[in-house]
Amino acid sequence: MKNFLKLASILTLGLFFVACNDTPSEGFTKTGKAGDLSVTYSSAKPLVVGDNTIDVKISKDGKAITDATKVELKVFMPEMPGMPYMENTNLLAPKGESYSGNINFSMGGTWQVKIFIEKDGKKYKYSSSVIL
């Protein structure tokens, strides 16, 4: 039993160390496609439960798209046993060569991420997910 406790505490310490070593200085970036557009969404800081400032960069053939009619970011978590559907949606504002705005994750877990883009009368959708 004593040996088991020793092993358990060593493992716990190990996990704690790994968790603390999770490079907090690095932000978050994910890239994918929405039709023929390239979409990158990022945060200067790691994503957290609560408010996050998200930057969305859209490009086509390597050229930044800065004249989108609308860029909307939506995060949601489907209904789970004992937990209601959760969602946060925000229209992003143009900022330099990207679009920026706040998004709120109300709890940890897996969140679905959708970015809706409108440009020249066409609609695009980028689908992704993050784990908090």
Cβ–Cβ under 8 Å, residues 80 and 28: no
Using alpha carbons, select from 79, 83, 99 the residue that is nearest to residue 91: 99
Of 40 and 104, which has the nearer Cβ to Cu ion? 104
> Could you tell me if residue 120 is left (phi over 0), alpha (psi between -120 and 50 degrees) or otherwise beta?
left
SS (H, E, C) 12-32: HHHHHHHHHCCCCCCCEEEEE
Distance of alpha carbon 58 from alpha carbon 64, whole angstroms: 6
- Which residue among 39, 73, 77, 113 contacts Cu ion (CB under 5 A)? 77
Question: Could you say whether residue 92 binds Cu ion (CB under 5 A)?
Answer: no
Q: Select the span of 31-39, 40-48, 70-78, 110-118 touching Cu ion (CB under 5 A).
A: 70-78
Question: CB of 18: closest distance to Cu ion in angstroms?
Answer: 24
Q: Select the span of 64-72, 79-87, 92-100, 122-130 touching Cu ion (CB under 5 A).
A: 79-87
Question: Could you say whether residue 10 binds Cu ion (CB under 5 A)?
Answer: no
Question: CB of 49: closest distance to Cu ion in angstroms?
Answer: 12
Which residues would be at the binding site for Cu ion (CB under 5 A)?
Answer: 77, 80, 83
